[in-house]
Amino acid sequence: MVESISSGGPARAERPRFLALDSLRGICACMIVLFHLHSTGVITNSSLVHNSWMFVDFFFVLSGFVISCGYLDRLRSGYSIRRFMLLRLGRVYPLHIAILGLFFTVEIAGAALGTAGLSARTPFSDPRTLGELASSLALVQIFCGFPSIVWNGPSWSIAAELWTYLLIALLFRAFPRWTAPMATGLALTAGLVLALAGPLAWDPATAYAFARCILGFSLGVLAWMLVAAVRWPALGLGLATALEVVATLGCCVMVAAGAVPILAPLLFAATVVLFAAEQGMVSRLLKLRPFVMLGTLSYSIYMVHSFVLARSLDVLAVGGTLLHHPLVETRFGTSGTLKTLTFAPDLMTFVVLSIVVLFSAITYRWIEAPARDASRKWLSRRGSDMQPQATTDATPRPDRDPIAATLVA
């Protein structure tokens, strides 16, 4: 299964879709689901899952890699920044709005009917006030100084990426011959800001989220420039597999340790470069259909999981009451309501994860993919903002988004 991902420019070449990287993105999305699922079992209490929030930085690196693959040369050659941003909005915004709508519906129901004892929080109170809703709609919540992530929590990273898209596109255009020094400077500056901020830098509710995204995205840009400039030698199956295993274990050990998170984007960038070559057995495994499916659904998995987890635990809490056998432990506190799986926790962890993936398949089929395609068609009908170039079947036209599955979270 191969799709064309062009780096753009006058001599655009047909490039394979990076299926192994797609699959890694899907696995990372599932790890973040597990991070937000509380249970008394072994899985969710392992060090790897406990620190899986760091995999968001893998998304940032991968996003920089893929956006550079599809748009670096095109933006440097005069491709419309407005069109680029509209394509990005068409990719990320419809599902964001849809999930906000689901959360809003639950708040309305809670205000009208009560919470049935499932939550101690008053509807439309923090972190889901109307003011916080407005900031989420505008994707500026990370700049508003809220004490925690608001409404659909994972959307903080979408906000950070959207503004990073704009910043990088403007810089690509302004300094077309200085992309590598520019990306290096951005990465160093963002890294310094995060290092000076200390633990606060990793709070997704703060504006440091923007610096965090810039760091990962810039390293992804550099990773793509390296892959595009240097042809990977044929490593041989044995050596390539060994390197892929070492990189995978290295990422897992680093995340499980959770000691120096600022180093994570560097290791993730090296891993992206390695797996872009797809020469080892780990890459072959990742290109199997179940993993590729997770990659395809990864944005939906990431965006819907908070809502699906909350509603799944609500259902289990009610079911436990009806069965007179608690399935979920509910704790009410000043910081919110915490629900923890207690019945067959490791088995139920996989059941709930499967529900998230199933729901994601529905949102991908009926919201994400149709909205993405509709936005592209709308932009295509409006015409190109630049002079058309000669094209062939293997060369995407400027009014088409060359990235089949943008890595956004």
Mean pLDDT of 81-110: 95
pLDDT at res. 72:
92
pLDDT at res. 379:
87
pLDDT at res. 334:
65
CA distance 362 to 351: 17
Q: 240-293: per-residue pLDDT in tens? A: 999 999 999 999 999 999 888 999 999 999 999 999 999 999 999 999 999 999
Nearest C-alpha neighbor of 348 from the set 52, 51, 48, 39: 39
Confidence label for 321 from pLDDT (cuts 50, 70 and 90): confident
233 pLDDT more than 90? no
Q: 359-369: per-residue pLDDT in tens? A: 999 999 999 99
Measured CA distances, 189 to 166, 174, 212, 216 (Å): 18, 19, 11, 12
13 pLDDT more than 70? no
5 pLDDT more than 70? no
197 pLDDT more than 80? yes
pLDDT at res. 4:
35
Q: 22-64: per-residue pLDDT in tens? A: 999 999 999 999 999 999 999 999 999 999 999 999 999 999 9
Which sequence spans correspond to the domains of the chain? 19-382
Token pair, residue 11, equals 């001599």
More confident residue, 122 or 21: 21
330 pLDDT more than 90? no
pLDDT at res. 281:
96
The continuous run of DSSP H or E covering 339 comes out as: strand 336-341
Q: Position of tokens 């509709």?
A: 374
Token pair, residue 287, equals 């290109």
Token pair, residue 186, equals 């951005």
Beta-sheet pairing, 328-333 with 336-341: antiparallel
3 pLDDT more than 70? no
pLDDT at res. 15:
52
For the chain, give percent helix, strand, coil, nearest 5.
65, 5, 30
107 near 71, Cβ under 8 Å? no
Mean pLDDT of 298-317: 95
Amino acid at 378: W
Question: To the nearest whole number, what is the mean pLDDT of the chain?
Answer: 88
Q: What is the DSSP annotation of 234-274? A: ---HHHHHHHHHHHHHHHHHHHHH-S-GGGHHHHHHHHHHH
Q: Position of tokens 């995999």?
A: 55
pLDDT at res. 89:
95
Angle at 22 between CA 217 and CA 366, to 5 degrees: 105
pLDDT at res. 52:
96
pLDDT at res. 113:
87
Q: What is the DSSP annotation of 310-331? A: HHHHHHHHHHHHHHTS-SEEEE
Confidence label for 115 from pLDDT (cuts 50, 70 and 90): confident
Other Cβ atoms within 10 Å of 333 Cβ, number? 8
Q: 374-409: per-residue pLDDT in tens? A: 999 998 887 644 433 333 333 333 344 434 333 333
CA distance 357 to 67: 25
Mean pLDDT of 14-28: 86
315 pLDDT more than 50? yes
Angle at 245 between CA 240 and CA 249, to 5 degrees: 150
Amino acid at 115: T
34 near 49, Cβ under 8 Å? yes
Nearest C-alpha neighbor of 19 from the set 267, 263, 289: 289
Q: Which residues of 253-287 are buried (b: 16+ CB within 10 A; e: fewer)?
A: ebbbebeebbebbbbbbbbbbbbbbbbbebbbebb
pLDDT at res. 17:
77
Mean pLDDT of 122-148: 93
**Coil vs helix vs strand at 381:** helix
pLDDT at res. 382:
78
Phi then psi for residue 216, to 5 deg, are: -65, -45
Crossing angle of helices 155-174 and 55-76, in 10° steps, is 30
Please give the share of the chain, as a percent, with pLDDT higher than 90. Answer: 73
Please give the share of the chain, as a percent, with pLDDT higher than 70. Answer: 89
